[in-house]
Amino acid sequence: MNNKEIKLEIIKVAKKLYDRQMVNTNEGNVSIRNGDYVYITPSQVCKDELTEEMICVTDLEGNKLDGTLKPSSEIALHLHIYKLRPDVKGIVHSHAPHSTAFAIARKPIVSKAYTEMIYLYDKIPVVDYGAPSTPEIYKDVKTYIYQTDAFLLANHGLVTVGKTLKDAYLLTESVESIARTLLYTRLLGGEYPLTQPDLEFLYNARKSQLDKDPITP
Ligand SMILES: [Zn+2]
* CA 94 / ligand 1 centre spacing (Å): 6
Q: 169-198: buried (b, 16+ CB within 10 Å) or exposed (e) per residue?
A: bebbbbbbebbeebeeeeeeeeeeebeeee
* CA 64 / ligand 1 centre spacing (Å): 21
* CA 100 / ligand 1 centre spacing (Å): 10
* CA 204 / ligand 1 centre spacing (Å): 35
Q: Which helix (H) or strand (E) holds 179?
A: helix 165-187
Residue 53 designated active-site: no
Residue 25 has pLDDT above 90, yes or no: no
Secondary structure (H, E, C), 108-137: CEECCCCHHHHHHCCEECEECCCCCCCHHH
Q: Are 112 and 194 in contact (CB under 8 A)?
A: yes
Residue 211 has pLDDT above 50, yes or no: yes
Mean pLDDT value across residues 92-97:
98
* CA 159 / ligand 1 centre spacing (Å): 9
Q: What is the largest CA-CA distance in the chain?
A: 57
In this prediction, residue 207 carries a pLDDT of 83
Domains (ranges, CATH) in the chain?
A: 3-210 (3.40.225.10)
In this prediction, residue 209 carries a pLDDT of 76
What are the tens digits of pLDDT across the range 158-206?
Answer: 999 999 999 999 999 999 999 999 999 999 999 999 999 999 999 888 8
Q: Of the listed 74, 116, 176, 191, which one is catalytic?
A: 74
Residue 214 has pLDDT above 60, yes or no: no
Residue 31 has pLDDT above 80, yes or no: yes
In this prediction, residue 213 carries a pLDDT of 56
Q: 136-155: buried (b, 16+ CB within 10 Å) or exposed (e) per residue?
A: ebbebbeebbeebbbbbbbe
- Mapped onto helix, strand or coil, the DSSP state of residue 106 is coil
d(CA 56, CA 204): 43
Residue 217 has pLDDT above 50, yes or no: no
* Strand order across the beta sheet in which 37-40 lies: 64-66, 56-59, 37-40, 29-34, 90-94, 157-162, 150-153, 126-127
d(CA 35, CA 16): 25
d(CA 71, CA 39): 9
* CA 152 / ligand 1 centre spacing (Å): 11
What are the tens digits of pLDDT across the range 52-83?
Answer: 999 999 999 999 999 999 999 999 999 999 99
DSSP class of residue 68 equals: S
DSSP class of residue 73 equals: T
* CA 189 / ligand 1 centre spacing (Å): 31
With 0.85 as the threshold, say if the pTM is over it: yes
